[in-house]
Amino acid sequence: MLNIKKDLNQRKEMIVIICSLAWPSVVEQALQTTVQYVSSAMVGRLGAKASAAVGLTTTVNWLINSPAFAMGIGVLSYISLCIGAKKVEKAKIAAIQSIIITIILGIIMGIATLSISPFLPKWLGAAPEIQRNASLYFGIICLPMLFRVATIIFGAVLRSTGDTKTPMKVNLIMNITNIILNFILIYGNQTIFLGKLKIPVYGAGLGVVGSAIAAAISYTISGILMFLALYKNKIVSPKGKKIKLNLPIMKRCVNVGFPVTIERVTTCLGQVVFSSLVTRLGTLAFAAHSIALTAEEAFYIPGYGMQAAASTLAGNALGEKNEKKLQQVSVTMIAIAVAVMTITGTILFLFPDFMMSIFIKDPVVIKSGSSVLRIVAISEPMFGALIILEGIFNGVGDTKTPVFVSILSMWGVRILSTFLCVYKFKLGLKAVWLCMIADNIFRFTLLFIRFLSGAWKRNKLLRK
């Protein structure tokens, strides 16, 4: 009886810790999604062509962000493990390595993306009428690449120390800035009515280009603020230390992050190919596809918000060499994510028309997007568990198996089946989204089998 009470108390304490770490990340994800909602809605007012121009390079942006996210995972895994093992000095050295990684990645990715921006829309098979705007949009938002990378990697460093509130605050500032600048830069001069009061507002009337400039300025501000936050962090601040390479620690971070980089780059390339296949269905179908993807994002906010907490707590437990705690954290996080995303999935299933109408008024686009949202809503709980599983494996540095699974699933299930649906069987957007869901189901199944086997946990504990 006493053991049962003790286990219940431990479980309650763990849920409190999980919630305290997760809620700022959930809010942060919500803020990011909100600003994307607002931006998409503002651009959507310009019409389906403008929405398609902005949505065309969404998957390419996932691709170019993937090395930064992957290296952030490598640093987060190592620092959280060091903190769990009470090796604070090594954690600080790892934070210094994150600065070096940020500079190198930011410069390389900035040059690469600006070089391809004039040609990218044509490569993706975009209709001629949206190619120019799509190219300008992509080029402008890639100008501050160093700051985009800084936001991602330094945010991961802060989360690894248990500080999830600061990244949330930085994202709040970034998102407010983005929304205000979108309003000013996208539209021309307007008059706002507050009751009988008329307020004239200046507008640049830049359309899609204005949205890109707003995003670029916001990225720059967030990168600077995240860097300052890193220097003020009490646990891993590099203040007073030389920014120099520490080869053994850099190697540890890269060894975890590199497989994730391969996985993210390969799967994001798959997303780009997937997106180019959808463009073959026409501009209206692609607009419905890209807007539906944006609408769906709000409904997996809880999963991605809890993923960082799962990685941090799993890494801490590994550093403590506490197998029981590692298991409890993992199971509890998965259960919470599934429960929450069952609720969000139900909401999405019931109100897909409303979600689409936030972004565009075209009835054809709304009807097409709503039909695929209702399909994907059913898979949300499973997707929540998948997100947490990835977070747990990343937190303990077990990244090689998930890499293999993701690559196999993306190219062997999603791309192959979509290609057949579009080219061979001439099917529409619903079939394409069923291919996307099949990819997620396949990936979840393989990762869940690995989780149940316990090999990921035993192997890592034995090495520490």
pLDDT digits (tens, 9 = 90+) for 110-128: 999 999 999 988 888 888 8
Percent of the chain beyond pLDDT 70?
Answer: 94
Per the prediction, the chain carries an average pLDDT of 86
Number of residues that make up the chain: 464
Please compute the mean of the pLDDT values over residues 184-207 and round it to a whole number.
76
Highest mean pLDDT (candidates 6-20, 21-35, 142-156, 265-279): 142-156
Query: For position 459, what pLDDT does the model report?
Result: 57
Lowest mean pLDDT among 193-207, 272-286, 420-434: 193-207
pLDDT band at 395 (very low <50, low <70, confident <90, very high): confident
Give the pLDDT mean for 159-184. Answer: 89
Summarize pLDDT for 313-356 with one digit per residue, the tens.
888 888 888 888 888 889 999 999 999 999 999 999 999 999 99
Q: Tell me the percentage of the chain whose pLDDT exceeds 90.
A: 42
- Mean pLDDT throughout 299-310? 83
Highest mean pLDDT among 176-180, 307-311, 412-416: 412-416
Residue 190 backbone phi and psi in degrees, to 5: -135, 165
Burial of 386 (0-12, 13-18, 19+ CB in 10 A): buried
Task: Measure Cα distances from 227 to 155, 166, 197, 431 in Å.
Answer: 9, 11, 42, 44
Checking if the pLDDT of 1 tops 60, the result is: no
41-51 confidence digits (pLDDT tens): 777 777 778 87
Does 147 score more than 90 pLDDT? yes
Instruction: Please tell me which of 58-67, 106-115, 172-181 the model is most confident about, judged by mean pLDDT.
Output: 106-115
Rounded mean pLDDT of 195-212? 79
For residue 200, the surrounding DSSP H or E stretch is strand 197-201
For residue 377, the model assigns a pLDDT of: 94
Name the maximum alpha-carbon separation found in the chain: 71
- What is the number of domains present in the chain? 1
Sign for the pseudo-dihedral over CA of 319, 325, 331, 336: negative
Radius of gyration of the chain (CA): 22
Q: Is residue 166 over pLDDT 80?
A: yes
Supply the pLDDT for residue 8: 65
Q: Which has the higher per-residue pLDDT, 330 or 202? A: 330
**Who wins on pLDDT, 372 or 65?**
372
Q: Which two tokens stand for residue 212?
A: 């890109």
pLDDT of amino acid 408: 93
Of residues 15 and 250, more confidently modeled: 250
Residue 449's CB: how many other CB atoms inside 10 A? 10
Rounded mean pLDDT of 290-296? 85
What sign does the dihedral 138-140-143-145 (CA atoms) show? negative
- Tell me what the mean pLDDT of segment 272-281 comes to: 86
For residue range 221-273, list pLDDT tens digits in order.
999 999 999 999 989 998 888 889 999 999 988 888 888 888 878 877 887 78
Q: Which domain holds residue 327?
A: 2-463
Q: Are 76 and 311 in contact (CB under 8 A)?
A: yes
